Chain A
Amino acid sequence: AQSVAQPEDQVNVAEGNPLTVKCTYSVSGNPYLFWYVQYPNRGLQFLLKYITGDNLVKGSYGFEAEFNKSQTSFHLKKPSALVSDSALYFCAGHTGGFKTIFGAGTRLFVKA
């Protein structure tokens, strides 16, 4: 069965420190992988995606993610966290555009 897992319910990081939000996937074929962010009382917003090509993809607000096929991972990273990055982050994946599967989400807290 296809799945997307986010092993951490919550990640805490101090402002200015690097952050990583983890995601692993089990998707048949060549996966399309996405990160979305959900701020309080707002809808999900697209951050970045991996389709093919360069394993390091860059997205909005200074975020980037690294696709690792051997480890079936797609971790979200940012070199220097901001308090305003505090939000709920979702990893999602699918193949061929069918049945997007979302992870359970990871809540990021950035402390000033």
Chain B
Amino acid sequence: EAGVAQSPRYKIIEKRQSVAFWCNPISGHATLYWYQQILGQGPKLLIQFQNNGVVDDSQLPKDRFSAERLKGVDSTLKIQPAKLEDSAVYLCASSLLQGPYEQYFGPGTRLTVT
């Protein structure tokens, strides 16, 4: 079974530039999550999709971050414009459904904003 795929693995940009991350979840998984993990902290949920609908985006800085999962499969997270404090690892995860199901994580994208 293929795991969660993410790209790119690394990205370095200057502040005020834009960046996009891509995630392809495990086939058949209805729920997709984007997390931000700042060094030394646990992952923080940015947005959660159930199929192509948003379940929770309460911690997504909507003035600069956006995410979509148009066909209920892969997803894109965008930052525009980036700030220095956006430097982090962005993790994508998927689970079979919402509820008592474990999440499967991709390798993450390490973003450095200079």
Which residues of A are in contact with B by a Cβ distance under 8 Å?
4, 32, 34, 36, 42-46, 49, 51, 90, 92, 96-105
Contact = CB atoms under 8 A, between A and B. Distances in A.
A49 B42 CA distance: 18
Given A32-B100, A43-B91, A98-B55, A105 B106 contact: no
Of listed B40, B97, B105, residue having the most chain A CB within 10 A: B105
A104 B108 CA distance: 17
A98 B106 contact: no
Interface of B: 3-4, 31, 33, 35, 40-45, 48, 55-56, 58-59, 91, 93, 97-108
B41 A104 contact: yes
A98 to B, nearest CB: 6
Majority secondary structure, B binding face: loop
B25 to A, nearest CB: 13
B41 A51 contact: no
A97 B105 contact: no
Given A98-B55, A105-B42, A46 B103 contact: yes
A103 B42 contact: yes
Nearest to B104: A46
A49 B97 CA distance: 15
Nearest to B4: A43
A34 B42 contact: no
Contacts of A105: 40-42
A99 B57 CA distance: 9
Contacts of B42: 4, 90, 92, 102-105
B43 A99 contact: no
Contact of A32 (B45, B56, B99): B99
Contact of A98 (B41, B48, B97, B102): B48
Contacts of B35: 102
Contacts of B48: 98-99
A45 B40 CA distance: 18
Contact of B98 (A45, A46, A90, A96): A96
